Amino acid sequence: MDANKYYRNIPKVDSIMENEKLKELLDITSRELVLDYARNATEELRMFINDNPNNEEEINAEIKNIINKISLQVHKLLTYNMKKVVNGTGTILHTNLGRAPISKEAAERAKNIVTGYSNLEFDLELGKRGSRYSHFEKIISRITGAEAAIAVNNNAAAVLLILSSLAKDKEIIVSRGELVEIGGSFRIPDVMKQSGGILVEVGTTNKTHLHDYEEKITSQTAALLKVHTSNYKIVGFTEGVSIEELSDLGKKYNIPVIEDIGSGVLADLSNYGLTYEPTVQNSINAGVDIICFSGDKLLGGPQAGIIAGKKQYIDKIKKHPLNRALRIDKFTAAVLESVFHDYIDEEKAIKNIPVLKMINMNIEDIKISAEKLSEKLKDMSEFLDICTEECLSQIGGGALPLERMKSYAVSIKPKTMSCARFERELRYSETPIIGRVVNDTFYIDLRTVLEGEDQIIYDEIKNLFK
Ligand SMILES: *Cc1c(COP(=O)(O)O)cnc(C)c1O
């Protein structure tokens, strides 16, 4: 077949640009951009003809569709890709959905600060250069009892910075049961290697005793490290060394004890129906020298890695060149200050911090919300089977992996389309609704549906059946 015949049918770029539909695009973007897409589209068409010279039908369809294709591509580029979604999964710290949501108040304060100039690194009292950590260092000390604190980009960065500052070319003793991998690419042995520290493993996977650490202490030992296993639990015949015991051992040999506690728990979660999780305060009380934790796990703040502990070590960490590369920006500093402010009074923290609020929700209130949403959705019962059902929410984000909280969900079985398609359509909607599909049923767990989002869920589902 002579492909030339088709090449002649490819519209010229000039004439494409005269098309009314594309001319309309010039109201929202530059001619240059549209032209670029028009050139690409004709080039792609040429290649398509080259690759499929005998497929007349499809070639004609592609030619006919060229304007639409360009318009769609331009629109796609001009539409923001990152957007708010409704989390109906019941997983409070959903790693794929941005982990901890920030309260509107904290975001509002940060907005005010980042849209103008601020005293990020300016000491207003002395009228000279200040520290970006000063905005929350005192509050962290007040809440946790630590002498000093800083924050970096995330907890992985915190561990890297601590080890690089204190243990380069020296030995760090860790229990074999704590050599964990967190979220894909964070592995304790790899981070240790990256920091220049030398890993000394002690004990076994299930049991490590205090004397295991003690026997490995040499003049080369720079630190004893304890890592919260976060996303997994060994049960049965197990034994570990408490942070008290390890801290005492560190003191005996004058070696700093470091703890990566993972999820920065500052409130005793057993007061809110969960299993007791060691708090940061508990470790500081026990005498740990340096502790680090995530900002956006159970702490309920922005992505950050908080490092707190004895001033002599924090000072050393602050001065390490890597700290400059890992430092937080003004947005994070502002939100961190807000979140720690809330923790000054635990009652306020439970009320203001979305993650804690979701953990502490009253089961009867969740049930009422689920019933309310079910009732509302029933005006679409022509298309949907709707029920309110008991379900289980989880913390997620690699924290409390075995913990499940009783909750309520709206269960939806579409009648006119498959559940897979229903799930997909909701994922594609203006404000995507992310739920859970189990046995061809779509579940929306009301624990993680935030205030006002029930209306969004209703509107988006309604849109599917217009
Ligand atoms: C989650 C976690 C990390 C990584 O923290 P990020 O803030 O995600 O970088 C490191 N150590 C432990 C023990 C964790 O649980």
Kindly state whether residue 267 falls inside one of the protein's structural domains.
yes
Kindly state whether residue 438 falls inside one of the protein's structural domains.
yes
CA distance 127 to 130: 9
Task: Quote the ligand 1 centre to 153 CA distance (angstroms).
Answer: 11
Amino acid, res. 335: V
**Do residues 210 and 310 share a domain?**
yes
Residue 1 has pLDDT above 60, yes or no: no
Residue numbers of the domain that contains 46: 3-78
Using one digit for the tens of pLDDT, what is the confidence trace for 56-110? 899 999 999 999 999 999 999 999 999 999 999 999 999 999 999 999 999 999 9
424: helix, strand or coil:
helix
The structure tokens 């923001």 sit at: 80
Q: How do strand 441-445 and strand 436-438 relate by DSSP bridges?
A: antiparallel
Which of 152, 179, 260, 263 to mutate to test ligand 1, by most ligand atoms within 8 A of the CB atom?
260
**398 Cβ closer than 6 Å to some ligand 1 atom:** yes
Kindly state whether residue 165 falls inside one of the protein's structural domains.
yes
User: 224-238, 242-256, 399-413: which range is least confident on average?
Assistant: 224-238
Using one digit for the tens of pLDDT, what is the confidence trace for 260-312? 999 989 999 898 888 888 999 999 999 999 999 999 999 999 999 999 999 99
Task: Determine the straight-line distance between the first and last CA of the chain, rounded to whole angstroms.
Answer: 46
Atom of ligand 1 nearest to the CA of 228: 13
**Do residues 59 and 134 share a domain?**
no
Among 270, 200, 207, 203, smallest CA distance to 239 is for 207
**Do residues 254 and 316 share a domain?**
yes
**Which residue has the CA at smallest separation from atom 6 of ligand 1?**
155
Task: Quote the ligand 1 centre to 19 CA distance (angstroms).
Answer: 53
Structure tokens at 266: 């500052």
**149 Cβ closer than 6 Å to some ligand 1 atom:** no
**Do residues 179 and 42 share a domain?**
no
Kindly state whether residue 284 falls inside one of the protein's structural domains.
yes
**Do residues 257 and 339 share a domain?**
yes
**Do residues 338 and 364 share a domain?**
no
Output the domain CATH number for residue 381: 3.90.1150.180
| Contact predicate 444/408, CB 8 Å | no
| Contact predicate 146/309, CB 8 Å | yes
Kindly state whether residue 99 falls inside one of the protein's structural domains.
no
Q: From 312, 331, 352, give the residue that closes a domain.
A: 352
Which of 294, 297, 400 to mutate to test ligand 1, by most ligand atoms within 8 A of the CB atom?
294
**Do residues 131 and 67 share a domain?**
no
Kindly state whether residue 452 falls inside one of the protein's structural domains.
yes
Kindly state whether residue 98 falls inside one of the protein's structural domains.
no
Output the domain CATH number for residue 264: 3.40.640.10
Q: What is the pLDDT of residue 279?
A: 95
**354 Cβ closer than 6 Å to some ligand 1 atom:** no
Using one digit for the tens of pLDDT, what is the confidence trace for 271-285? 888 888 899 999 999
| Contact predicate 336/154, CB 8 Å | no
Among 11, 3, 9, 8, smallest CA distance to 53 is for 3
305: helix, strand or coil:
strand
**Do residues 55 and 136 share a domain?**
no
Q: What are phi and psi of 360, to 5 degrees?
A: -90, 5
Q: From 336, 352, 368, give the residue that closes a domain.
A: 352
pTM: 0.92
Could you give the angle at which helices 31-51 and 56-64 cross, rounded to 10 degrees? 180
255: helix, strand or coil:
coil
**Do residues 314 and 374 share a domain?**
no
Kindly state whether residue 338 falls inside one of the protein's structural domains.
yes
| Contact predicate 302/296, CB 8 Å | yes
**Do residues 336 and 433 share a domain?**
no
State mean pLDDT over 167-188: 91
**Do residues 165 and 309 share a domain?**
yes
Quote the mean pLDDT of the chain: 95
Count of the separate structural domains present in the chain = 3
**Do residues 9 and 63 share a domain?**
yes
| Confidence at 180, pLDDT banded by 50, 70, 90 | confident
User: 50-64, 105-119, 451-465: which range is least confident on average?
Assistant: 50-64
Q: What is the pLDDT of residue 28?
A: 94
